Structure 1
């Protein structure tokens, strides 16, 4: 018997023998799991009963996709691995969209699934058609089918460390039903590294830090932009975090991408806000940053793509990227220095080198900090708009502004939807949130906000979770209102309802403005009463359509201490005006030399010698 096998004392069920499902549950408990999201299937009963024996809380959702999304959100906000379970084939098929998002967004989640008995392979048995391991491999870091009950703890340990180690990501382990219901040989159980601490995350190369400090010291206009990879470098306490320590030690303001909004003090000059604000500098006749530190933030469309709007394309701008993934450094934009490191360890190592009392001191650029403060106070062109738009409905900017300003400070905001997502992100600082996430991710996946809100509510039970939806995205998983109600989750859903797929119809209007204005697959029903749907699922529901002040009052009512629990605000708004972000993404131009490609960079029109005269 190996030393590893002697390390665990397995908890014997009081009235039956120990089964593979118990081994799985107890292995997860040993790894620190206290909550698991999922949807029941008979294949998983031995595991679910095992969870109850070791006090792992089960949060059952109404759809497998939202279970995976809940695990992902829980992982993002708790700093732990998120766990979920889905049943064989049909359940697993529904889980694939959540897996795809988690893989694209590098989220550490562990998906437990099951399959028919091993002996029934290739017999056209119930829920046995697709090979789930094969399907999972392209959208996971690790996918495996357990075929020996005694190996469950070892495989679980390996999968867990794969999910959280290095570049985080989802893992999938398939436990055939006969493995879960099979008793192990107690003297043959392999624990692997179940009781070992996770591996130490990588630290930066000291020589690279010296080079970075030299670049930083020479900068006149430095900024830090953080992404998901920096999440572990901050805490939910906005007054104390390593990220804040670094900002103060270097005198450098911190901006955030849509993927991760850190908890930094709102009154601090080093809380810059949404990175897209940097694109406004030229409109204020101000220069763009000449030094950008990308900390756990990937380049790409969430940071302006290759347009140079947020991160200047000027060769004089120095860009340093810190990431766990060497392949991510310089993927879509030129980088002057790449550093492979965990964000937390990077900050710790940097702070050891940077001090006001030595030659590595980085002095704050006060004039630059003042310029950036002017961005935060820059007045929106919509501030003085009429409350009602020409169609008689309420202005979306003013509605979101009023809602945000009525929320309890320190809420966590989850942003979903298309056009409403743009308004909600632009105005986010008005909510003064403790944290926030844009749920659509790199895949532009609408509907994720429902599952994200479930995970957030479990990760941060002391916070109000605000689930911002458009009327389009709301339709994907609105049945999760039942999950909110059954589990008493403190989630406020705001549906910004304009009866259209807003970004779609605006794109059509911009591109085909001279053609028939038929709404091609972009119209929604004005008869859908989201507030009544919420009431039907056991949540509070209110509709507002008369004034922004009515919306403010409704938010106060839905979030008052005497009416805690899930609620929904059905806010009727206008589909106009069009956000500047949508105009920019659609890229409409009258320049005949360019072909408009909506939501991507336009491409030059090809010309040939024989038609050059027509040009």
Structure 2
């Protein structure tokens, strides 16, 4: 018995000169749900679906590698508010896509992947592209993964997967359609629809009692701060100054900061735009107090917010409130005073309504606190007085990145990739006054994501320039996507910040090991690699910028003004100085009682350093050769 689709009257588009197949069902089910673009790479297994997309009106954007296709779908989802869709072929293509799935899962991005596999009848016959069970591989890094074995069940399962990706805690889903299912004609009278409609299930709103408690905590704060993450990405309206988040900040006189992953779109001239949350770490160094109230709005605790060091979120003396769709995320690494499980947009709307209904509750203007924030935001960089030209004849990375940011048009979308390069770019981001910015490396520290993210951003926001910033290390992962930008005529400007090193890697080795030790394994890149020439080979405009800041500014502005299509500027910079972020992450110390664990918190030795020295002397003199532990700290 066929299901009755009560949500809407589905009208399938029927091909005129060929049979209607399972691939058509997949494509048209996605179109009914609102999918209008899909990213991927061709494979013969998918042809029934790809041809079906043409009939269904879904734009296909083909990449040169599967990982950027998934990353493009992820960025498209972040910027469009829709579920991002991608397609990869069986086994070989699917295995190439796993980095994209892993990133989307860690960063909670709603994407739907369509893949295929050999015919069901050929299972366990060593057939072409049939070795790995894709569903088994996908399950640990997806919200849902399923193999569709019946062509009539396609609409129901596509709808279920789509809504699973978008509902609750967002994340990636995978549907595996064996090739014989995609090429199989369905019995139209036996289709199982489920609920194929564009609207997804409603997201949860906040408990009214929790809002009352929140207001009582917030209204007594003297130094409140809001820190937003990707969960709050769509609470701002980029087309006006009427964003709900801005109105909430104004009603409570609270500055808004953003985590490293995604910047909010608040007016740059507003005193309530705090900038990057990393600025909060500077307050003690200028003799100012840290926040006494923090609202984490769709922002997860962890290394992007200073870990458990207390640098950004004070360990004591601060009321911490966390709003997140995932109740398990609340209090995951920090004790919270109030946790609210809710969609951030609904939370803001409900809280503003509550505040309007209770005008007697006073929120102080916090003038002194906002002055402190302004002081931190306008602190001169310690590198500002440095000579723009380093002793090695290359440009100082701080001055070079500043020249880039000040040469970009306002309201661009900036995608940041790379290690040291990413730190320089993030620290100077506000100078560019972007519409929004995404740090593509995410929780996994995945280099190379920026190529796919920029592609997705260009499709989601075709009216804006997308600036794709890379170090020369991350640039090498998927530089072939320059061809994708050119073939689709996309307004993507790529900046390669080129110091011929894996910058964070060599910096870590320099900090950890004596300068006299010349060994610096596997951190050198080619000094002769011309990324600008590579760009020209992929039909992009490509130029080299070196020698002076004026040259950088001119080349960037000329590239922006050159008209439609993509371009690349290869900017030669010095590998020194090392950013303070890298120094802090490495955590080098001369205190011998601590074991340095680069990029994580150091750990105490299980024995005193002096005991180790005495043991070393004894061994050198031929004593105590039987071994055994030296004196324990306990």
Q: Structure 2 matches for 1:432-511, cutoff 5 A?
A: 432-511=433-512
Corresponding residue number in structure 1 for 2:74: 72
Partner of 2:620: none
Please, what TM-score do these two structures have when normalized by structure 1? 0.98
CA contact (8 A) 1:558 1:564 kept: no
Match of 1:601?
A: 601
Structure 2 unmatched ranges of 5 or more: 615-630
On the 8 A contact 1:86/1:111 being kept in 2, the answer is yes
Identify the match of residue 95 of structure 2 among 89, 93, 96: 93
For 1:245-284, what aligned pairs fall within 5 Å after superposition?
A: 245-284=247-286
Please state whether the residue corresponding to 1:469 is helix, strand or coil. Answer: strand
- 2:592/2:609 contact within 8 Å kept: no
Seen in structure 2, the aligned counterparts of structure 1 residues 218 and 153 have a Cα distance that, compared at 3 Å, is same
Question: For residue 529 of structure 2, what is the aligned residue in structure 1?
Answer: 528
Match of 1:563 in 2: 563
Aligned counterpart, 1:328: 329
Distance between the aligned counterparts of 1:45 and 1:366, measured in 2? Answer: 62
Is the CA contact (8 Å cut-off) linking 2:266 and 2:273 kept in structure 1?
yes
Match of 2:223 in 1: 221
Distance of aligned partners of 1:470 and 1:612 in 2 relative to their CA distance in 1, 3 Å threshold = closer
Deviation at 1:610, TM superposition (A): 10
Match of 2:617 in 1: none
| Counterpart contact for 2:69–2:452, Cα < 8 Å | yes
Map of 1:128-527 to 2, 5 A cutoff? 128-195=130-197, 197-237=199-239, 239-314=241-316, 316-355=317-356, 358-527=359-528
Q: Give the drift of 1:258.
A: 1.1
SS in 2 for 1:516: coil
Deviates more, 1:40-49 or 1:367-376: 367-376
In the TM superposition, what is the alpha-carbon distance from 1:361 to its structure 2 partner?
Answer: 3.8
SS in 2 for 1:398: helix
Classify the secondary structure of the residue corresponding to 1:563: coil
State the Cα deviation string for residues 440-468 of structure 1 (Å, max 9, x = none): 00000000000000000000101100000
Q: How far apart in 2 are the matches of 1:157 and 1:323?
A: 25
Hey, what's the Cα distance between the residues in 1 that align with 2:612 and 2:24?
75
What are the Cα deviations for residues 191-220 of structure 1, in whole angstroms up to 9, with x where unaligned?
Answer: 111126211110111111111111101100
1:359 Cα deviation from its structure 2 partner: 2.5
CA contact (8 A) 1:354 1:361 kept: no
Q: How far is the alpha carbon of 1:526 from its aligned partner? A: 0.4
| Secondary structure class of the residue paired with 1:437 | strand
Counterparts in 2 of 1:238 and 1:289: CA distance versus 1, 3 Å:
farther
Contact (CA 8 Å) 1:65, 1:94: kept in 2 or not?
yes
Residues 481/452 of structure 1: CA separation in 2 closer, same or farther (3 Å cut): same
Q: What are the equivalent positions in structure 2 for 1:540-579 lying under 5 Å apart?
A: 540-560=541-561, 562-579=562-579
Give, in angstroms, the shift of residue 356 of structure 1: 9.0
Q: TM (normalized to structure 2)? A: 0.95
Write out per-residue CA displacement over residues 549-606 of structure 1, whole angstroms, 9 at most, x where no aligned residue.
Answer: 101000111010x422100000000000010000000000001111100000000011
| Deviations 1:11-64, CA, capped at 9 Å, x for gaps | 110111210000111001101111000000000000000111121110000000
Structure 1 distance, partners of 2:613, 2:446, is 45
**Structure 1 unpaired stretches of 5+:** none
The offset of 1:612, in angstroms, is 8.4
Check whether the contact 1:464–1:492 (CA below 8 A) recurs between aligned residues. Answer: yes
Q: Structure 1 residues 23, 349: closer, same or farther in 2, change over 3 A?
A: same
- Kindly indicate whether the alpha-carbon contact (under 8 Å) linking 2:33 and 2:198 is maintained by their aligned counterparts in 1: no
1:234 to partner: Cα distance: 1.5
Report the secondary structure of 2:356's partner residue.
coil
Corresponding position of 1:539? 540
Question: What secondary structure is seen at the aligned counterpart in 2 of 1:354?
Answer: helix
The CA distance in 1 between the partners of 2:91 and 2:574, in whole Å, is 42
Q: Deviations over 1:401-434 (max 9, x none)?
A: 0011000100000000000000000000011000
Contact 2:5 2:195 (8 Å CA) reproduced: yes
Q: Cα 1:249–1:409, aligned 2, differ >3 Å: closer, same or farther?
A: same
- When residues 610 and 148 of structure 1 are mapped into structure 2, their CA distance, relative to the original with a 3 A threshold, is same
RMSD: 1.5
The CA distance in 2 between the partners of 1:362 and 1:120, in whole Å, is 68
8 Å CA contact retained: 2:40, 2:62: yes
> Greater CA deviation, 230-239 or 107-116?
230-239
C-alpha distance in 1, partners of 2:224/2:76? Answer: 33
Contact 2:259 2:299 in 1 (8 A): yes
- Runs in 1 of length 4+ with deviation above 4 angstroms? 612-615
Q: CA deviation at 1:474?
A: 0.3
The secondary structure found in structure 2 opposite 1:355 is helix
Q: Measured at CA, do residues 32 and 613 of structure 1 come closer, stay the same or move farther in structure 2, by a change above 3 Å?
A: closer
Deviation for aligned residue 1:382: 0.8
Equivalent residue number for residue 618 of structure 2? none
Q: Is the 8 A contact 1:238 1:264 kept in 2?
A: no
The residue aligned with 2:626 is none
